[in-house]
Amino acid sequence: MISKKVFMSFLFLAFMLAPVLDAQADEAEGTVALPRDYGNEDLDTFFETDDIYDPLESMNRVFFQVNDKLYFWILKPVNTAYTAAVPIDFRECFGNFFDNVAAPVRVVNNLLQGKFADAGIDFSRFMINSTAGVLGLGDPALRSFGLEPKPEDFGQTLGVWGLGEGPYLYLPVFGPLTLRDTVGFAGDSLAHPATYVLSKPLEGAAYYSADKVNLLSLNPDLYEDMKRYSLDPYISMRQVYLDYRRNKMLDRAVKNEMINQL
Amino acid sequence: MKYVQALLVLVFCSFLADSSALAVPGPTEQLKPTLKVLIDILLDPAIKGDEHRVERRAKIMGHVSQRFDFREMSQRVIGREWKNLSPEKQDYFQVLFTKLLENAYIGKFESYSGQEIQYMGERIKDDRAIVSTQIENNGQLIPVDYIMIKKEVQWMVYDINIEGVSLVRNYMEQFKSILRRDKFDGLVKLLEEKNRTFE
């Protein structure tokens, strides 16, 4: 029996890198037939915008240090042990499994944003992968049917509905977020099957931790590379998070529209 | 008669000018061979491994500097401050920043094992262009955009954008707060220290 205390600390750590790791999870997001665009800024003014709202920077920086310690003291050793114990093929299958279980979140958010065709694609993916993909361990929907996931989350939905990002936050354990994404994260748990199947909060937390540790094991160098290559890791992380989230907000149709305008 | 002759010459010349303008290869066409050469160097068994690192890096940087505009990048990461710096300081900063990019990204690139680069399309507006590519890593498709600027007839890369995350803007934001706090000399010191950590 794992004691409750040990369990909770494990869970905390797994949460920590969640948003950064999510950045790697939606691999098919960028597969567009037409060239992508930077955003609604023109190429020439791209670097002149100053649109970072970080009023809590000094507090955020403290938590950045805290999470950094947690990463090296606990999450990294856990990940090293896990990676040594579980072969890569299994970890990729587990990754597919976690992705597949989260399909309702994507379906619901596509619906909330009025993207009915995308919602249908993610629903089909869920049906195919849950059956032919053996409980979601494989991804025949992509490999055999060419159906790419359409990742949407409630943070993006809120953005589409017109809610601003709000201040940038660097939370203990959770890592980088904006206020909008924090609300979105809480909202998405309502659409996640694990919330209902695993009724005890600890079980849900265990599930979530396992998901995130598995994800980290597939992208082990992410955090340390970022630290190694930057002069100010806090700012580098903030920029990566904001760039990545803002890019995700731009949908294919919007991107194509902007291409036509150029 | 003279008039007609002059006109003919003029027409002929304008044709020449036109066709030479058409003959300049587009950004994708210019980028492709550079990336191809880089991959060939990385996969060359004769200079593989740690013992050939210095030689390999020198070879890579030789090719990279013909297609990647480190001057432009340096200017952009410094921002407005740039024009207040003496030419010597500008040059020295460029050396340091180029070295950092070499250490960080060429180092990372060295683990490359032959994944294919897919060219997804290009977009040109005046003297700027975006070339969109995709590369597969651990079963994940990663979109990589090369942002280019036209100098004379050369299309030069001045930023790389991976899944919406801009390399130059990331450094620019970091340097902005360092410049505010420690001024240019402080930034130079930090860069020197950072580069030493890769040795």
Rounded to the nearest angstrom, the minimum Cα separation between A238 and chain B is 9
Is residue B13 situated within a structural domain?
Answer: no
Residue B140, domain extent: 26-197
Is residue B14 situated within a structural domain?
Answer: no
Q: Mean pLDDT throughout A165-191? A: 91
Question: Residues in chain A whose beta carbon is closer than 8 A to a beta carbon of chain B?
Answer: 23-24, 27-38, 43-44, 46-47, 52, 92, 218-219, 225, 228-232, 235-236, 238-240, 243-244, 246-248, 250, 259, 262
- In order of A58, A70, A92, A216, the CA distances from B139 in angstroms are 38, 29, 9, 15
Q: Are A244 and A19 in contact (CB under 8 A)?
A: no
Question: Considering only CB atoms, which chain A residues are within 8 Å of B166?
Answer: 38, 46, 243
Question: Considering only CB atoms, which chain A residues are within 8 Å of B174?
Answer: 230-232, 235-236, 239
DSSP letters of A32-95?
A: -SSPP---SS-TTTGGG------TTHHHHHHHHHHHHHHIIIIIHHHHHHHHHHS-HHHHHHHH
For A19-55, b/e burial (b = at least 16 CB within 10 A) is bbbbbbbbbebbebeebbbbbeeebeebbeeeeeebe
Is residue B3 situated within a structural domain?
Answer: no
Residue A151 pLDDT exceeds 80: yes
Residue A247 to residue B164: CA distance in whole angstroms: 5
Closest CA to B110 of B43, B173, B168: B43
Count of helix runs (H) and strand runs (E) in chain B:
7, 5
Which structure tokens are listed for A151? 């990742």
Question: Considering only CB atoms, which chain A residues are within 8 Å of B169?
Answer: 46-47, 239, 243
Rounded to the nearest angstrom, the minimum Cα separation between B115 and chain A is 16
Q: Are B157 and B63 in contact (CB under 8 A)?
A: no
Chain B residue at shortest CA distance from A148: B141
Q: Do A33 and B172 touch (CB under 8 A)?
A: no
Q: Do B134 and A31 touch (CB under 8 A)?
A: yes
A205 vs B5: which has the higher pLDDT:
A205
Nearest CB partner across the interface for B169, out of A47, A230, A248? A47
Rounded to the nearest angstrom, the minimum Cα separation between A120 and chain B is 22
Of A245-254, B162-171, B177-186, least confident by mean pLDDT is: A245-254
Q: State the pLDDT confidence band at B15, using cuts at 50, 70 and 90.
A: low
Chain B residue at shortest CA distance from A262: B125
Is residue B31 situated within a structural domain?
Answer: yes
User: ipTM value of the model?
Assistant: 0.82
Which structure tokens are listed for B146? 């090369």
Rounded to the nearest angstrom, the minimum Cα separation between B166 and chain A is 7
Rounded to the nearest angstrom, the minimum Cα separation between A187 and chain B is 25
Is residue B21 situated within a structural domain?
Answer: no
pLDDT digits (tens, 9 = 90+) for A205-232: 888 888 889 888 888 888 999 999 999 9
User: What pLDDT is attached to residue A66?
Assistant: 95
Alpha-carbon Rg for chain A in angstroms: 19
Q: Do B178 and A243 touch (CB under 8 A)?
A: no
User: How many separate domains does chain B show?
Assistant: 1
Is residue B112 situated within a structural domain?
Answer: yes
Q: State the pLDDT confidence band at B10, using cuts at 50, 70 and 90.
A: low
Sign of CA dihedral A205, A157, A251, A101: positive
Of A73-77, A171-175, B84-88, least confident by mean pLDDT is: A171-175
pLDDT digits (tens, 9 = 90+) for B111-125: 777 778 899 989 888
Chain B residue at shortest CA distance from A48: B79
Residue A96 to residue B163: CA distance in whole angstroms: 21
- In order of A17, A105, B76, B93, B103, the CA distances from B106 in angstroms are 26, 38, 20, 19, 6
* Pairing label, strands B140-151, B154-162: antiparallel
Query: Which residues are CB-neighbours of B170 under 8 A, at least 6 positions away?
Result: A230, A236, A239, A240, A243
Q: Considering the entire predicted model, what is its pTM?
A: 0.79
Question: Residues in chain B whose beta carbon is closer than 8 A to a beta carbon of chain A?
Answer: 76, 79, 100, 104-105, 108, 120-123, 125, 128, 130-132, 134, 138-143, 145, 147, 161, 163-166, 168-175, 177-178, 187, 190-191, 194, 197
Is residue B139 situated within a structural domain?
Answer: yes
What CATH number does residue B188 fall under?
A: 3.10.450.710
Nearest CB partner across the interface for A244, out of B145, B164, B169? B164
Is residue B149 situated within a structural domain?
Answer: yes
How many CB pairs lie under 8 A apart between chains A and B? 111
HSE-CB at B178 with a 13 A cutoff on CA atoms is: 24
Q: State the pLDDT confidence band at B139, using cuts at 50, 70 and 90.
A: low
Question: Considering only CB atoms, which chain A residues are within 8 Å of B125?
Answer: 43, 262
Average pLDDT, chain B: 86
